[in-house]
Amino acid sequence: MYFILMKKSVLRGTIVLIAIIIGISVIFVQNNDDVKINDFESSNDYSEKIAITTTTNVITDLVENIGGDHVSVTGLMGPGIDPHLYRPSASDVKELQNADIIFYNGLDLEGKMGDIFVKIGKGETHVWAVSESIPTESLLILDTNGHFDPHIWWNVELWAEAAKVVATGLKEYDPKNSEQYDENLSEYLNQLETLNSNNLKKINSIPKEQRVLVTAHDAFRYFGHTYGFEELSIQGWSTDSEAGIREIQNLADEISKRKIKALFVETSISPATIEALKAAVQDRGHDIVIGGELFSDAIGEKGTTKGTYIGAFTHNIDTIVKALK
For 37-49, how does the pLDDT look when each residue is reduced to its tens digit (9 = 90+)? 233 232 234 458 9
Q: Which ranges in the chain are annotated with CATH 3.40.50.1980?
A: 50-200, 206-324
Confidence of residue 63 (pLDDT cuts 50, 70, 90): very high
pLDDT at 235: 84
Helix, strand, or coil (residue 221) = helix
**What is the model's pTM?**
0.84
21 pLDDT more than 50: no
Domain 206-324 in CATH 3.40.50.1980? The answer is: yes
Determine the Cα angle at 127 with ends 123 and 130, to 5°.
170
pLDDT at 19: 41
**Topology (CATH) of 50-200:** Rossmann fold (3.40.50)
pLDDT at 101: 98
Q: What number is the average pLDDT over the span 195-224?
A: 97
Q: Which pLDDT tens digit goes with each residue over 125-179?
A: 999 999 999 999 999 998 878 899 999 999 999 999 999 999 999 999 999 999 9
pLDDT at 311: 98
234 pLDDT more than 80: yes
Q: Which residues contact 202 (CB under 8 A, 6 or more apart)?
A: 317, 318, 321
Distance in angstroms (rounded) separating the CA atoms of residues 65 and 185 = 8
CA dihedral over 46, 49, 55, 60, signed as positive or negative = negative
The rounded mean pLDDT for the chain is 87
25 pLDDT more than 50: no
Q: What number is the average pLDDT over the span 258-276?
A: 95
- In the chain, which ranges are continuous DSSP H helix? 2-47, 57-67, 90-98, 113-121, 156-173, 178-203, 221-227, 245-258, 272-283, 309-324
pLDDT at 33: 38
Of the chain, the end-to-end C-alpha distance in Å amounts to 115
pLDDT at 263: 98
Question: Could you give phi then psi for residue 58, rounded to 5 degrees?
Answer: -70, -35
224 pLDDT more than 50: yes
Confidence of residue 251 (pLDDT cuts 50, 70, 90): very high
pLDDT at 15: 38
Q: What number is the average pLDDT over the span 94-110?
A: 97
Count CA atoms within 13 Å of residue 134 on its CB side.
28
